[in-house]
Chains A and B, each alone.
Chain A
Amino acid sequence: MTNLRILSIFPSLLNVNGDAANALVLAQRARWAGHPARIDELEPGGQLSVVPDLVVIGSTADASLPEVANGLAGIRTELADWIEGGTPVLAVGSGMDLLGEDFAIPTETVSALRIVPGGVPDAPLGRVADDLVVNSSFGRLVGFENHYRGFSLGEGALPLGRVEYGVGNDRSTEGFVYRNAYGTHLHGPVLAKNPAFADHLLGLVIPGYDSRSVPAGRADDMAKAARNSIAARLSLVSE
């Protein structure tokens, strides 16, 4: 097939926790399976030259949110079309918040994109900075959450999974699924530690995608060991 196009949204701003690395994880896994892939980086004010196959949106600290929201407003039409049209999107942390309703941060109200039904509720959760373990349709997802706000799902959106350890959206559900758009508080390279999630996204856009390859096998053994070492520390059963 032709190049798989992965679009990384504002990586210079939305990579505080290494979330932009999810684009790299998708590209590498595609390549390992024999599919050429490239990452297109879009910065605020930049031109969207091609229609992407997959989109990755990371997170940032509150201080940068107005700038990010402003930049996203310029590509709202395209993002909404892609999401409604079924393009897989991964949105992490505040990147997830920005796909829903407008929300307040201490200094102002952030204009979000209102594409995904739901959004940040008025009452904040308080600071959460700890491990997050979620039971999802891709199996157990393990990672780290660091956020202050929760997320409440609107009609038409489903949770990504149920919280096994941690807080997530509201101490019970975590993330959202809306068409092929996925939101999660699991920050950083969530797709590296949870390759089943990555393979699900790749399977949506690569016909006949088979994740099995030697390098993926090595990486997935490391990921499983990493998930299990966190699970063991939290006194959860190992996979």
Chain B
Amino acid sequence: MRVAARLRKRGGGSAVPGLVVNRLAPGFLSSALDGFADGLVIVTGSSGKSTTTKMLVAILEAHGKRVFTNPSTANIAQGLTSALLERASLGGVVDADIAVLEMDEGHGARIAPLLNPRTVLLTNVMTDQIDRFHDSEMVAGMLETIAARASDFLVVNADDAMLVSLAGGLDGSAVQARYGVDASVLAASPRGLGYAKESVTRLAPADGTVVTAVEGRLATVTLAGEPWPITLPARGTHYAVDAAAALTAAQAVLGSSFDPAVATTTLSAVAPVFGRGEVVTVRGKSVEFVLVQNPASFQLNIDSLQAGLDQVLFAMGSDVRDPSYFWPVDASSLGRVTVASGSKATELALQLTYQGVVVDAVVPDLGRALDDFLSLPEPRVGVKTIIFTADSMRRTRTHLELT
């Protein structure tokens, strides 16, 4: 069963049956996704997809919609097909009003011709691994391929200059809806928002959904010019931007039935996605998990950690082909890392050391590092914090048997 187990992991869900169906019935995926009465929404971009998707789904459900959504990392066609099969009747009809799918830009662009989304939500373009996507222009090109499929609405981050430019170049029928932060929120983020290119001007509240204040987990967004308080799943301006994105998309999809009070209340109750600020109890200890997806999210997440943490495990895995591209990130605010782990542990430790972070131990074996780290007594400051890249996150979840 080892091979099968591996295949399952890669698809995020159960990839094997999906693979089989895609071979036997190649039209299944597109016809199933075209079968929702309220259409298909695609959420894509470099980061923020999972949190935004989770918020959007919650808001739509609070408005009475039955939503089909893809489980966490089942971004590929096979995983999606499997997930659809689990929910489909014998006739191939999925019992839901609307589908909201999170898609990796690479996979999304590849299957874009099969998809007819009514709404596409673009989160941002961050510099991704150089050897994976080569450069941000390429990512923008993939997002453009997906965005071009939107028939009704294109929801765009107004602070991301590459997205604004690609949206401006589309000649489709989709109406554009925008979200962003105001000048005060931007000014409070000294390193910016992490996008490959930041827009020069800020969105006016009359022109979209604007984040006007962020204080810890509390934020304010303006919807149709009116301010609404919200609570974020975790600290960090990027979560407020995710919230603005979800609210904008919900407003577009629901039209006149959108209720801002219901939407903001629902959104405020959304729990963090695993690895995006979620605090979990593991072996009796509170642990915060922080996912690092690219240099920008590495920087943003480290900057939003509580200062002076004395128990941090940082794991970098084989998904990081070349750790060089993380070196522009200034990790010095970590101060001390209890253990560097993962297959790239030594390279990570090297960066931390040169940036003045004390690394107490380097333990490439992640299972052993996790066991030792969790058995340490409670930290003096904050909670035990585990920072990881995507591959190390998967291994961590498996090792700790977290679903």
Q: Tell me, in angstroms, the Cα distance from A21 to B127 when the chains sit together.
A: 17
Is the C-beta of B325 less than 8 angstroms from some C-beta in chain A?
Answer: yes
Is the C-beta of B326 less than 8 angstroms from some C-beta in chain A?
Answer: yes
Q: Tell me, in angstroms, the Cα distance from A226 to B350 when the chains sit together.
A: 9
Q: Residues of B contacting A146 with CB < 8 Å?
A: 130-131, 322
Across the two chains, which residue of chain B brings its CB closest to A187?
A: B324
Q: Tell me, in angstroms, the Cα distance from A146 to B271 when the chains sit together.
A: 40
B131 contacts A215, CB within 8 Å?
A: no
Q: Residues of A contacting B346 with CB < 8 Å?
A: 222-223, 225-226, 229
Q: Residues of A contacting B327 with CB < 8 Å?
A: 17-18, 21, 188-189
B137 contacts A16, CB within 8 Å?
A: no
Interface of chain B, helix or strand or loop or mixed?
A: helix
A20 contacts B322, CB within 8 Å?
A: no
Q: Residues of B contacting A61 with CB < 8 Å?
A: 135
A193 contacts B354, CB within 8 Å?
A: no
Q: Tell me, in angstroms, the Cα distance from A220 to B322 when the chains sit together.
A: 19
Q: Residues of A contacting B135 with CB < 8 Å?
A: 61, 63
Residues of A in contact with B, size category: 20 to 34
Near B by CB (< 8 A), chain A positions 132-191 give: 143-144, 146, 187-189
Shortest CB distance A122–B (Å): 23
Q: Tell me, in angstroms, the Cα distance from A157 to B364 when the chains sit together.
A: 41
Is the C-beta of A28 less than 8 angstroms from some C-beta in chain B?
Answer: yes
Q: Tell me, in angstroms, the Cα distance from A188 to B325 when the chains sit together.
A: 7
Shortest CB distance A41–B (Å): 13
Q: Tell me, in angstroms, the Cα distance from A146 to B323 when the chains sit together.
A: 13
Q: Which among B353, B355, B364 has the highest number of chain A CB atoms within 10 Å?
A: B353
Is the C-beta of A129 less than 8 angstroms from some C-beta in chain B?
Answer: yes
A18 contacts B326, CB within 8 Å?
A: yes
Q: Tell me, in angstroms, the Cα distance from A143 to B321 when the chains sit together.
A: 11
Shortest CB distance B324–A (Å): 2
Q: Tell me, in angstroms, the Cα distance from A17 to B343 when the chains sit together.
A: 20
Shortest CB distance B387–A (Å): 18
Is the C-beta of B349 less than 8 angstroms from some C-beta in chain A?
Answer: yes
Q: Tell me, in angstroms, the Cα distance from A24 to B189 when the chains sit together.
A: 24
Is the C-beta of A4 less than 8 angstroms from some C-beta in chain B?
Answer: no
A-B contact pairs, 13 of them (CB 8 A): A17-B130, A17-B322, A18-B325, A20-B328, A24-B354, A63-B135, A187-B324, A193-B350, A222-B362, A225-B346, A225-B362, A226-B347, A229-B343
